[in-house]
A and B are shown apart, each in its own frame.
Chain A
Amino acid sequence: QKEVEQNSGPLSVPEGAIASLNCTYSDRGSQSFFWYRQYSGKSPELIMSIYSNGDKEDGRFTAQLNKASQYVSLLIRDSQPSDSATYLCAVLTGNQFYFGTGTSLTVIP
């Protein structure tokens, strides 16, 4: 069983819409959760981290964590073409990070 699961997409949304990305994880002992954005041919860059249940907002991005359901999500409001990328969910368990395979997002102008 994979540690971290994401829908691979591709997910397409029109410019200005809300993009919703989802992630589930298998280890209840996981303590920290992250969303990375990766443009084609580039390295992953951190966009959000969340450590406790609930919502965390940063500009157009909102991360949501539900530890009981072992579920993490990322909402991108007012999506822009520059948001087109692959979004990686990462979970820290002990001293190791586990990554999902990523969701490809395309924002259509």
Chain B
Amino acid sequence: NAGVTQTPKFQVLKTGQSMTLQCAQDMNHNSMYWYRQDPGMGLRLIYYSASEGTTDKGEVPNGYNVSRLNKREFSLRLESAAPSQTSVYFCASRNNSPLHFGNGTRLTVT
């Protein structure tokens, strides 16, 4: 039982490049979330999807887009990466329960 799987684990981008972070869960959860974690800032919500077909902005959505591809998958896209987007990104999911986190993607933008 894999839980929440994120790919890639590590990524280095140059300013202006684009990329998509992938997240998939096999727990049949309805809600999925994307967070970023920065030193001293804690976990901050970027976007979430309460159910398949819906997405909503969180606290820090600027510079990101998301797609809820189906119930299992929720991707996060950076169209034009900036050094301020250097962070650790966590995907999480839930169903009337606590959040279950993936292992994270460590992204560096140079």
Q: Does the CB pair A96–B98 fall under 8 Å?
A: no
Q: Kindly provide the distance from the CB of B5 to the nearest chain A CB, expressed in whole angstroms.
A: 12
In the complex, whether B50 has a CB less than 8 A from a CB of chain A is yes
Residues of B within 8 A of A (CB): 31, 33, 35, 40-45, 48, 50, 58, 90, 98-104
Majority DSSP secondary structure for residues of B touching A: strand
- Within 54-103 of A, Cβ neighbours of B (below 8 Å) are at 88, 90, 95-97, 99-102
Main secondary structure of the interface of A (DSSP, over half): strand
> A33 CA to B101 CA in the complex, in Å?
16
CB atoms of B48 and A95 under 8 A apart:
yes
Cβ of A30 within 8 Å of any chain B Cβ, yes or no, is no
Nearest neighbor of A4 in chain B, beta-carbon distance: B42
* Cα–Cα, bound, A8→B40 (Å): 8
Question: Residues on A close to B: CB < 8 A?
Answer: 8, 32, 34, 42-46, 49, 88, 90, 95-97, 99-102
User: Is the Cβ of A88 less than 8 Å from the Cβ of B42?
Assistant: yes
Q: Which residues of B contact A43 (CB under 8 A)?
A: 90, 101-104
- A97 and B48 alpha carbons, distance in the complex (Å): 10
Complex Cα distance A45/B104, Å? 12
Specify which of A8, A34, A100 is in contact with B98 (CB 8 Å cutoff): A34
What is the CB-to-nearest-CB distance from A53 to chain B, in angstroms, rounded to a whole number? 19
Residues of the B chain whose Cβ atoms lie less than 8 Å from the Cβ of A45: 101
Note all chain B residues with C-beta closer than 8 A to A97.
Answer: 33, 45, 99
Select B43's contact among A32, A95, A99, beta carbons within 8 Å.
Answer: A99
Can you name the residue of chain A whose Cβ is closest to the Cβ of B43? A99
Docked-complex contact A95 and B50, CB < 8 angstroms? yes
CA distance A88 to B48 in the complex (A): 20
